């Protein structure tokens, strides 16, 4: 979907991105993470040609983007930034309709799409479509920002620390919505953050960058169970590493089928971290597990949480 080959970008004497090769597969939720100055935002902004590389090639859906018109390329991609950047003189509806309008969609189709997106982002269409950005809270503004980016049904959504400026509760809600949107639309998402918890919660694959170079790529579980070096261990957090690891696996993966145990069942889709919390709260070392329809699936033992991750 997106492929960087030997990409380098310098700003004066500073090398922001250093001979980077990276691929993002179709349908992935790829999180780029790293400390300030790691080059993660530069990488993202090279994907839609807001920044041009000094060396190397970038392909999007097989095409070398240096040969495409930047405007045409960008209209195929959604772009969400931390400071949102809604057009203050346009209503929510017109903001969301910005790219469809540039693409010349018929009015009725644009209107239906706005309704659909506001609903998807949990904003009441009738209440908010005519509102101006200054009338919205920070979280609502970023919801509109995401809706605007998704409006023209892009194959790729680029997000540059979109939720960093939000309070933790709003951030959590928007993260959950992004995960749901990713599942529903199947859009390839490239998401920049400096928050490892956010990366672990959202990513299907993570790429860790430091000083313009790729340090490690892998699934959240790969990163947690086999950190490449001390920089990754620092990023992952040494203190609560164990809890983070439990958070990326579900109860279903460790359930012993057929057994039964007393008490309220855990949901199979809950994380092992939630399971541990439930065991501590109830003072027990085993809990029953039920599937999405509430049918018993088996039990989860404390001892099973202590094993290393099941790896293929």
Partner 1 sequence: MSRLRSLLTDRLALGLLVLAALVLGMPALKPLFAAAFPALDRPLYEADDFLALTLDHLALAGGASLIAVLLGGAAGIAVTRPFGREFRGVLDAVAAMGQTFPPVAVLAVSVPVLGFGPAPALIALTLYGLLPIVENTVAGLEAVPEPVREAARGMGMGPGALLWRVELPLAAPVILAGVRTAAVVNLGTAAIASTVGAKTLGLPIIVGLNGSNPAYVIQGAVIVAALAVVLDAGFDRLAARLTRWRPGAV
Yes or no: say if 134 and 40 are a contact pair by the CB < 8 Å rule: no
For position 128 contacting partner 1 by CB under 8 A, the verdict is no
SS3 content of the chain, % helix, strand, coil (to 5): 40, 25, 35
Largest CA distance in the chain: 66
CB of 82 to partner 1, least distance (A): 8
CB of 105 to partner 1, least distance (A): 14
Q: Find the binder of partner 1 among 13, 36, 71, 295 (CB under 8 A).
A: 71
For position 255 contacting partner 1 by CB under 8 A, the verdict is no
CB of 187 to partner 1, least distance (A): 15
The tokens of 167 are what? 């309070």
Q: Which own/partner pairs from 194-198 qualify as long-range (CB within 8 Å, at least 24 positions apart)?
A: 194/33, 194/34, 194/35, 194/36, 194/40, 194/161, 194/164, 195/33, 195/164, 196/33, 196/235, 196/236, 196/237, 196/244, 197/244, 198/31, 198/163, 198/171
Closer CB to partner 1, residue 152 or residue 266? 152
Closer CB to partner 1, residue 89 or residue 295? 89
Kindly state the DSSP code that residue 264 receives in the 8-state scheme: S
Q: Find the binder of partner 1 among 64, 87, 167, 234 (CB under 8 A).
A: 87
For position 68 contacting partner 1 by CB under 8 A, the verdict is no
Distances (CA, A) of 121 to 143, 179, 226: 6, 12, 36
CB of 218 to partner 1, least distance (A): 29
By CB under 8 A, how many residues form the interface with partner 1? 28
Among the listed ranges 77-85, 206-214, 225-233, 276-284, the one in contact with partner 1 (CB under 8 A) is 77-85
CB of 90 to partner 1, least distance (A): 7
For position 188 contacting partner 1 by CB under 8 A, the verdict is no
For position 66 contacting partner 1 by CB under 8 A, the verdict is no
- Spatial distance between the Cα atoms of 170 and 152, rounded to a whole number of angstroms: 25
For position 150 contacting partner 1 by CB under 8 A, the verdict is no
Q: Which of residues 95-114 bind partner 1 (CB under 8 A)?
A: 98-99, 102
Buried b (16+ CB within 10 A) or exposed e, 145-182: bbbbbbbbebbbbbbbbbbeebeeebbeebbeebeebb
Among the listed ranges 94-102, 210-218, 270-278, 289-297, the one in contact with partner 1 (CB under 8 A) is 94-102
Yes or no: say if 178 and 150 are a contact pair by the CB < 8 Å rule: no
Pick from 82, 87, 85: which is nearest to 132 by CA? 87
Closer CB to partner 1, residue 47 or residue 279? 47
For position 48 contacting partner 1 by CB under 8 A, the verdict is yes
Kindly state the DSSP code that residue 270 receives in the 8-state scheme: S
Yes or no: say if 261 and 307 are a contact pair by the CB < 8 Å rule: no
Q: Find the binder of partner 1 among 72, 108, 281, 306 (CB under 8 A).
A: 72
For position 155 contacting partner 1 by CB under 8 A, the verdict is no
Residues of this chain that bind partner 1 (CB under 8 A): 48, 50, 70-75, 78-79, 81, 83-90, 98-99, 102, 132, 134, 145, 148-149, 158
């Amino acid at each position: 979907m997106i492929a960087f080959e030997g990409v380098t970008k310098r700003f004066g004497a500073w090398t922001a991105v250093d001979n980077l090769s990276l691929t993002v597969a179709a349908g992935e939720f790829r999180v780029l993470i790293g400390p300030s100055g790691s080059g993660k935002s530069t990488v993202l902004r090279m994907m839609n040609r807001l920044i041009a590389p000094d060396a190397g090639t970038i392909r999007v859906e097989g095409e070398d983007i240096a040969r495409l018109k930047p405007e045409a390329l960008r209209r195929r991609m959604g772009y969400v930034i931390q400071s949102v950047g809604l057009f203050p003189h346009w209503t929510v509806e017109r903001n969301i309709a910005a790219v469809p309008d540039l693409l010349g969609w018929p009015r009725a189709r644009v209107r239906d799409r706005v309704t659909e997106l506001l609903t998807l982002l949990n904003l009441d269409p009738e209440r908010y479509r005519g509102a101006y950005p200054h009338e919205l809270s920070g979280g609502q503004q970023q919801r509109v920002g995401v809706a605007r980016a998704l409006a023209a049904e892009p194959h790729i959504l680029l997000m540059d620390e979109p939720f960093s400026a939000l309070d933790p509760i709003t951030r959590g809600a928007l993260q959950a919505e992004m995960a749901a949107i990713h599942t529903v639309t199947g859009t390839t998402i490239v998401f920049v953050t400096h928050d490892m918890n956010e990366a672990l919660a959202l990513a299907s694959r993570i790429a860790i960058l430091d000083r313009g170079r790729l340090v490690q790529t892998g699934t959240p579980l790969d990163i947690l169970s086999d950190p490449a070096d001390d920089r990754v261990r620092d990023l992952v957090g040494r203190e609560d590493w164990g809890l983070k690891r439990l958070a990326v696996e579900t109860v279903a993966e460790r359930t012993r089928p057929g057994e039964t145990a007393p008490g309220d069942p855990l949901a199979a889709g809950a994380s092992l971290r939630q399971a541990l919390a439930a065991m501590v709260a109830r003072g027990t070392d085993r809990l029953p597990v039920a599937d999405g329809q509430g049918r018993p699936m088996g039990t989860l033992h404390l001892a099973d949480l202590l094993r290393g991750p099941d790896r293929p």
